[in-house]
Amino acid sequence: MKDRYLILLSILIVIIQTTILPFLRISGIVLSLPLIFLISGTVVFGHWKGLKIAVYLGVLLDIMIGKGLGVYVFLFLIISYLISTFEEKIFKDNFITPIILFFSSSFFEVFYFATYKYLSTAYIMPFNNFLFTSIVYALYNSVFGILIYAYFIRKYLGYSMR
């Protein structure tokens, strides 16, 4: 996929994330379409495209949401780098692979933002709230992420999930 298509798709994903998806909350938790696209794109397109996707999505989310410049870029670069280190070792067409990737990345994202909130405001999230948020967020991302991941595998790699 060419860079101009990645940029246009990243803009579209960020617009959907910030305008439509807040209305589809479950227990106050919003689906993370950029995280799903990042994981799917890193696995399907490889290391360098995954890092480009991380930068594009991160910069756009930092501009749109405004938690601080570089917060999402740093998070997405870490997730993309960690996934790409295991690129040779994972079975891309296995059904368990996206579940593990979406669960672990979702837990990491919740932990990252809990740490960010603590460092910026000295607020400590209660453990039961952290655990509930992490589990619901991971399940929500995994259910929708598997569908998008299977589409990417079928369209760009040419085989279906096992």
pLDDT tens profile 51-66? 999 999 999 999 988 7
Q: 1: pLDDT confidence band, cut at 50, 70 and 90? A: low
User: How much is the pTM?
Assistant: 0.90
Q: Spell out the CATH class of 3-157.
A: mainly alpha
What's the mean per-residue pLDDT of the chain?
A: 88
Task: Determine the pLDDT at residue 126.
Answer: 83
Amino acid at 69: L
Report the 10 Å Cβ neighbour count for 18.
16
Q: 103: pLDDT confidence band, cut at 50, 70 and 90? A: very high
Q: What are phi and psi of 100, to 5 degrees?
A: -65, -45
